Each structure stands twice: as C-alpha cells, then as structure tokens.
C-alpha cells in the first residue's frame, strides 16, 4: 500500500505540500513564499516612508523541535520518524519547515509545520505588517480554491498559542493515491501570526480501509493542537531583538571593564 498521493489542481497542491516532501521543495515553494512573500499577493510598499519599528523576532527555532514527541505520536500515529524531516532552506532564520508522516494500519496522516519570519523594511513596512499580509495569503490559498469541498473557516479566540491573529480552515478533497484509486481526504490548515513570525500547520488524513475520510472534528482538533504548541515554541525559543540588544550591551560592558583595568595597571606602572 502506497499512501502517497498524486493530486491535481490547486487543491492538490495543498495536499502535495503536506504529503510529498520532494514536491514541497518545488511546487510548494510558491505558496510558502520561498522566493518572496507569497506569489498570490506580492508585498506592496506602504504609503508612509517612516522607518518601521524593529521586528520582535530575529530568528527561528528548529521547526522539528516545536512539537513534543508525545504530540507527534498522537497526531501522526505510526510516524516513520517522530523527530521529523527538516526541509532544506537557504535561510533557516527566515524560513523553515518540518514534515511528519505515518500510517497506522489503514489510517494515514501527514503533517507539516512551516515557520516564516519577516524583518522590518522601510520600503515594505514593519515585520508585523509583512507577516500579516503573508498570513492573509496563506488563508486565501484555501478561500479561493474552488476545488475544495465542505470548507469551513474559523478565527480562533485569544489565548495561549493563538498569537496576535489566527485562521483555521477545514476542508475535504478527493485525491488519487499511489495505487491509482481515488479516495477522500480530510485536511486542516491553521495559520497563526505572533509578531513578525507566521506559523502554518497543514494536516491531512486518509482512511485507506473506508470510503469516508477521518472526521473533520478529529483533524481540526489535532491540527489546532499542533499550531498552538508550535506558536508557543516560537515565542519561547526564537531569538528576539531585545535579547540581541542585551547581549550586545553585555559584550560592550565587558570590554569597558577590561579597558578600565588596563588603565589602572598603566597608572600604577607610571607611579612606580
């Protein structure tokens, strides 16, 4: 049994992003903003030319370490590697993705967690503004895809793990699997912005022994659990401008202490 799928159209591209690592490196690069901020809506310059506030986050944590092993085991039963597979990125401080997949008897799951960070730019806006536009792009990929079925959208409320804004989408799509059969799948996309970082979670479920896909409730609950855990990991572990400034200040202070000590030694030598 080959769980990999070969979907077609824009709906298929969403599924391919979650299921096939090789495709995610190529076909999915446009939706994940690998060369820009999302091909669907290029970044546009704000009217004001004022210097934007510095971005809060200056780096990203390892995406494969944003989830606890227990979470992976429960969300992706039979995961081939609970540590996940980190995709190659030209700049892991700005763009990073991790994949997990597994099949437990006939129950297949595929999960991806993508992190995207934006710096402040005088011509493009603050890091938060740019991240907000990117979140809207990721949401629009689902909203504008006419090939998806049974689509429902939600804006999760405030609370730990939901950052500054969040969107959650549940939908179904028929997919062609490796054995050339068409099976229904249930998918969930959750997009959360915390300051200048956007976390995108894509979770796919297929039941290879049933004509019906996994329940929307189960997939939604699992994907939103992953999203909140990943956002919490970013907020706890991603380096910030404040921390970078504090470290730079400490280094400067150490240098001043050394200089003062050397001055005292020179003065003593002069008196001698």
**Contact of 41 with 75, CB cutoff 8 Å:** no
Q: What is the pLDDT of residues 152-210, one digit of tens each?
A: 999 987 777 899 999 999 999 987 777 778 889 999 999 999 999 999 999 999 998 87
Helix H, strand E, coil C: the string for the chain is CCCCECCCHHHHHHHHHHHCHHHHHHHHHCCCCCCCCCCCCCCCCCCCCCCCCCCCECCCCCHHHCCCHHHHHHHCCCECCCCCEECCCCCCCCEEEEEEEEEECCEEEEEEEEEEECCCECCCECHHHHHHHHHHHHHHHHHCCCCCEEEEEECCCCCCCCCCEEEEEEEEEEEEECCCCEEEEEEEEEEEEECCEEEEEEEEEEECCCCCCCCHHHHHHHHHHHHHHHHHHHHHHCCEHHHHHHHHHHHHHHHHHHHHHHHHHHHHHHHC
Query: Which pair of structure tokens corresponds to residue 135?
Result: 């979140």
Whole-model pTM? 0.76
Q: What is the pLDDT of residue 245?
A: 66
Rounded-to-integer distance, Cα 127 and Cα 131, Å: 6
Q: What is the pLDDT of residue 113?
A: 98
Q: What is the pLDDT of residue 251?
A: 60
> What whole-number percentage of the chain has pLDDT above 70?
71
How many CA within 13 A on the CB side of residue 31? 28
* Bigger pLDDT: 197 vs 263: 197
Choose among 144, 206, 197: nearest CA to 169.
144
Q: What is the pLDDT of residues 114-131, one digit of tens each?
A: 999 999 999 999 999 999
């Amino acid at each position: 049994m080959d769980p990999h799928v070969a979907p077609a159209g824009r709906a298929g591209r969403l599924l391919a992003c979650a299921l096939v690592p090789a495709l995610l490196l190529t076909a999915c690069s446009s939706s994940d903003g690998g060369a820009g901020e999302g091909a669907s809506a290029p970044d546009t310059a704000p009217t004001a030319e004022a210097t934007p506030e510095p971005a809060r986050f200056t780096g990203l944590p390892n995406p494969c370490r944003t989830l606890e092993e227990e979470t992976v085991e429960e969300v992706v039963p039979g995961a081939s590697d609970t540590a996940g597979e980190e995709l190659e990125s030209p700049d892991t401080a700005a763009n990073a993705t991790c994949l997990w997949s597994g099949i437990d008897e006939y129950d297949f799951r595929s999960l991806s967690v993508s992190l995207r960070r934006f710096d402040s730019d005088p011509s493009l806006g603050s890091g938060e503004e740019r991240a907000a536009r990117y979140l809207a792009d990721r949401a629009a990929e689902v909203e504008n895809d006419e090939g998806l079925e049974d689509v429902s959208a939600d804006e999760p409320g405030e609370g730990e793990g939901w950052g500054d804004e969040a969107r959650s989408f549940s939908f179904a799509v028929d997919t062609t699997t490796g054995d050339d059969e068409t099976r229904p799948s249930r998918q969930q996309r959750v997009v959360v912005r915390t300051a200048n970082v956007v976390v995108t979670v894509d979770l796919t479920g297929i039941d290879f022994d049933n004509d019906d896909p996994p329940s929307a409730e189960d997939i939604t609950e699992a994907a939103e659990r992953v999203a909140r855990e990943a956002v919490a990991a970013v907020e706890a572990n991603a380096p910030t401008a404040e921390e970078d400034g504090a470290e730079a200040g400490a280094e400067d202070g150490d240098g001043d202490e050394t200089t003062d000590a050397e001055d005292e030694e020179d003065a003593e030598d002069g008196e001698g």
